[in-house]
């Protein structure tokens, strides 16, 4: 299957895994600390596979883009992933929270597309990568 990664990077934080995960999972607060998220809401009030997440992304050089995704994975204090399934394509964004053994947390962020229509994502690759990097840097700066 054709796969293309937009980001596969680890961000160091000075927070514990529990603290980083708890702050990250407060979706309605994303716009308070992240300049590339204008609005975010988790429908149903709690993280669980199948839940819907809406966020409005402020991608550099583009108008605000509302995005609705489905939560694919949720393991408390460990992992959150969401994605979009389209005919012949899938887009997945995963955050894994890793204890560094010294009381702090590393956040492994991966975003990728799969399937035949992955070729259509080529023009957006750089924009998504910059969005993901800004999101991670601003999250880490909270600690």
Q: What is the CATH number of the domain that holds 16?
A: 3.30.530.20
For position 90, what pLDDT does the model report?
A: 92
For position 125, what pLDDT does the model report?
A: 80
**Mean pLDDT per 10-residue section of the chain, whose length is 143 residues:** 91 96 96 95 93 90 89 97 91 96 96 83 79 94 94
Range of the domain at 36: 3-140
Give pTM, 2 decimals.
0.92
For position 59, what pLDDT does the model report?
A: 77
H/E stretch holding 95: strand 89-99
Q: Chain-centre distance of CA 62, in angstroms?
A: 19
Separation CA 125–CA 128 (nearest Å): 5
Cβ(67)–Cβ(90) below 8 Å: no
For position 116, what pLDDT does the model report?
A: 81
Q: Longest C-alpha distance within the chain, in Å?
A: 44
Separation CA 69–CA 14 (nearest Å): 29
Cβ burial, residue 91 (10 Å; 0-12/13-18/19+): buried
Nearest CA to 2 among 131, 83, 91?
91
Structural domain count, the chain: 1
Separation CA 86–CA 47 (nearest Å): 22
């Amino acid at each position: 299957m054709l796969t293309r990664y937009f980001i596969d990077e680890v961000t160091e934080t000075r927070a514990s895994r529990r603290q980083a995960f708890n702050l990250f999972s407060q979706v309605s607060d994303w716009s308070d600390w992240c300049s590339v998220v204008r609005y975010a809401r988790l429908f149903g009030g709690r993280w669980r596979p199948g839940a819907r997440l809406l966020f409005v992304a402020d991608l550099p050089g583009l108008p605000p883009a509302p995005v609705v995704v489905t939560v694919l994975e949720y393991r408390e204090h460990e992992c959150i992933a969401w994605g979009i399934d389209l005919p012949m394509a899938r887009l997945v964004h995963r955050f894994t929270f890793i204890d560094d053994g010294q009381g702090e947390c590393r956040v492994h962020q991966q975003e990728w597309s799969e399937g035949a229509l992955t070729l259509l994502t080529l023009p957006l690759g750089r924009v998504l990568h910059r969005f993901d990097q800004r999101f991670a840097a601003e999250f880490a700066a909270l600690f």
